[in-house]
Structure 1
Amino acid sequence: MGYAGFEVNTSGSIAHGVWSPDEITQSSTWRELIAVYRVLKSIPQVLRFQKVKWFTDNQSVSKIVKKGSMVHDLQSIAIDIYRFCLNNSILIDIEWIPRSENEKADYLSKICDFDDWGISDEILNAVQRKWGNLEVDWFASDNNAKLPVFYSRFWNVNSSGVDAFTEDWSGKFGLFVPPISIVSEVLKKMYTDNVQGVLIIPHWCHKKDIDELPVKLVDKVTLLPQILQHSRAFSTCKNYNSAFNRWIKWAMLNDLGSGDILPASELPLAIYLTSLIQSSFTPKPVETAFYAIKWIHEINGLDPPTDSSMVKNVLQSAKRILSKPVLKKEPITVELLSSIFDNLYVDKNLKSQRTICAFLLSFSGFLRSSELLYKRCDLDFSSTHMKIFIESSKTDQYRDGSWVIIARTGTKLCPVTNIEKYLEWAQFSMDSSCFIFCNLSATKNGYKCRNVNRAMSYSTLRDLFRNALTPFVTDINKYCLHSLRSGGATAAANKGVKDRMFKRHGRWLSEKAKDGYVKDSLDERLFVSRCLGL
């Protein structure tokens, strides 16, 4: 997770950086504001003596840069921005734009370079004691640069340049810690430029196997680290890499040598997991660290220390010590849906119909809240039913997508009829790529969809749910958006829907996951003891 900015008139003027663990905990406004400052400092050679039109998708930032802030930390950053612009003769005019119009910067900020790595100060000192002082760190970033002069993939606050391959490497005693995927290209350029320097690459446990490969295949080995990073979902890889970096940081702070980090030794790892237990409120941080370290070892062909009985038992202890009772929310019933419909339905009222459709489709399609973020072109209607294409979901590991089929019922609660009314009132065309459940604007004649093609946020959807349900329940805290999915599942199970169709409709992969959504009726539970013949 990081920040980014770019200058539209100059090719390659992209600034990018990543947040430190401490910075991630700061407010979004703080991060957006410091991003403005760091991007300015990263490309002063482009912006100096210029009038700059700056676009941001954070409204608070545009106001703070212009007028300042009553919050001390934000005001300090605003002053730093002012002084930097003054010293570099930059006249900045900052303007807010919607995120949908700032997609490139948003995309750049989310770049996670899994091929980026660095060395410790311990290794640097050992290298310089043996071969002398190094002058340039050719492949680095603000986060891992070991020398004052370094080159980075994108412009950083302190980088001397970008794209080291465009520079002449001769005449400088350089440090080379390149991404694994470009080691062969680095070696070729080192030979071409007749370079003196130190090249450091990670120890590859399959070195003997590599030496035995045909020459034509040796270069292909560098592709493996990149490919193996895709063995898990992007978000999982991101979490695992962050967790492993926390393990490295802890190990170095506690004077562990590199030989105890990767491969990790079981005793230090057990102590590390124990320290996480002492500082955590749930088992999640311990579980993430455990599986991250296991995965990193596996993709590097190393025996994971997580196979140790001691480490496994520390994980089990964390689950017992930190786990809390699961308080499942109550499922929504058809009777509640009927009451909500009667209370909200008004002909041609787009706002009320949006809430009704969100309720009915989540209930009838067993949809998670994230799965409601589909577009008009994802819907297909027929005389007997409708189909919804779910592009990706929690249980769709390979992103194949799936179709959810919902029947016409002919009643007031018919999901198909109600969504057809909503689409007609919202004036969606059949091939529209707009999000169905979007934000609305009030007009003289009612409501209309906003021109910005952005899905409704989770918090907005949650507020609509609570406001609609509150008049009909005694304790709204017993319900959440997932109550719609579990309500539909419960109604289907108590009606005797076949297990195979039940699992397919809800896109569940296991019996345990499916059964966790069903609340058995009292009659169903009493039926067990009535069958005992007592």
Structure 2
Amino acid sequence: MKWARMSTKRQLDEGIPGYRREAGSQSGHYTAHRHDRGVITEVDIRQLVDFHFPLNGPEPDLQTRMHVTCALLCWFAFLRFDDLARVLVHYDLLHITPGVGAEIILWKSKTDQRGEGQTASVGFRGDHYCPMTRLEELLTKGQYVRLPKQEAVEGRYVSVEDVGPLLRRVTTSQTGVPSLVQRTAPLSAPIPPLPYRTFLGHLRRLFVEAGLSPRFGTHSLRSGGVTAAVNNGADRSLVQKLGRWKSADVFEQHYVKDSDAARGRVTALSINTAQ
């Protein structure tokens, strides 16, 4: 089954649920492809990165680099958008250990309404799809400031500026050079994160360009990362802990989508063929 080419705007407005563009297709045709409730699979993540970060190809612009990197963080670190918007680049709140991983201090999240602070983590893979590699590249190429200016106040040094979130607005100069709109800001007017609808619109455009469904959203990333981790053998209780789910019922019923292979193994093991 094939669908005629549609404009990017129409794809974004209407979407083609359950279909994706044929790999390598130059005609823009779509073929039937099941996505379990909008879950972004390993194949989808690879396709997204391969398209926007082609090996031996041109480097992506800063906005594309930022959005794909944030998508990888949502997928690998099981982040909600609310979590992503609270990923701050301050050295004390984003701990990066090269070649090992990163700890992300979330000052408030859906399951931390008192603002006591939670920690999300992401590890190092060392391959083309490594979220740590993309994160470190983004911080460098975006020229983020991670240590705010400090001044002595009553005998101790305190920060006097905000260095802001990872996800923020990008502008392009008259010469075509992209850069962050703000690198630092006064503490009285901190740098705002990119709004959800703006991020989602940009992200879906990147999905469409890579031949993925325009119906995917930020929840598709979190659910897809969890599903892939569990189906590839990660300990379910550890995944639940790292994803900061307080309820095992919510975790199992609404986020983990067991693969066909996993369900098949259950059926195969139901009868002991050795008897």
TM over 0.5, yes or no? Answer: yes
* Residue 226 of structure 2 corresponds to residue 489 of structure 1: yes
Q: Residue 471 of structure 1: CA displacement?
A: 4.1
* 2:181 corresponds to: 450
In structure 1, C-alpha distance between the alignment counterparts of 2:199 and 2:67, rounded to whole Å: 8
Distance, in Å, in 1 between the alignment partners of 2:237 and 2:107 is 22
- Is 1:370 the counterpart of 2:108 in the alignment? no
2:107, 2:118 within 8 Å by CA — same for their partners in 1? Answer: yes
Q: Distance in 1 between matches of 2:51 and 2:106?
A: 30
Contact 1:379 1:387 in 2 (8 A): yes
Code of the aligned partner of 1:468: L
Distance 1:359 1:417 in 2: 13
1:78-89 aligned at under 5 Å gives the runs none
Change (3 A) 1:474 1:340: closer
- Pick the structure with more helix per residue: 1
Alignment partner of 1:411 is 2:127? yes
Deviations 1:466-494 (A, max 9, x none): 111124557533x2210000011001110
Structure 2 counterparts to residues 4-83 of structure 1, below 5 A:
none
Task: Confirm or deny that 1:382 pairs with 2:97.
Answer: yes
Residue 439 in 1 paired to residue 169 in 2? yes
SS at match of 1:386: strand
Q: Provide the rounded CA distance (Å) in 2 between the counterparts of 1:341 and 1:407.
A: 17
From 145, 148, 157, give the equivalent of 1:429: 145
From 73, 97, 101, the counterpart of 1:361: 73
Q: Which amino acid aligns with 1:387?
A: E
TM-score of the aligned structures, taking structure 1 as reference length: 0.37
SS at match of 1:375: coil
> CA offset at residue 398 of structure 1?
2.9
Give the superposition deviation at 1:521.
0.6
Contact 2:205 2:214 in 1 (8 A): no
* AA of the residue aligned to 2:202: L
Do structure 1's residue 394 and structure 2's residue 110 form an aligned pair? yes
How far does residue 328 in structure 1 lie from its aligned partner after superposition? 7.0
Distance 1:532 1:502 in 2: 26
SS of equivalent to 1:485: helix
Amino acid at match of 2:259: S
Percent identical: 25
Match 1:467 to one of 193, 197, 205: 205
By how many angstroms is 1:347 displaced? 2.8
Which runs of no fewer than 5 residues in structure 1 stay unpaired? 1-326
Distance 1:358 1:480 in 2: 12
Q: CA deviation at 1:387?
A: 1.1
- Secondary structure of 1:376's counterpart equals coil
Letter aligned with residue 386 of structure 1: A
Structure 1 residue 412, shift from structure 2 partner: 1.1
TM-score norm. by structure 2 comes to: 0.70
Q: 1:331: Cα distance to partner? A: 1.1
Aligned residues: 207
- The answer for unaligned runs of 5 or more in structure 2 is 1-34, 149-162, 186-190
- Check whether the contact 2:52–2:60 (CA below 8 A) recurs between aligned residues: no
SS at match of 1:406: strand
**2-structure distance, mates of 1:414, 1:340:** 13
The answer on whether the counterparts of 1:329 and 1:480 sit within 8 Å (CA) in structure 2 is no
- Which amino acid letter does the alignment assign opposite residue 502 of structure 1? V
Q: Equivalent residue for 1:250?
A: none
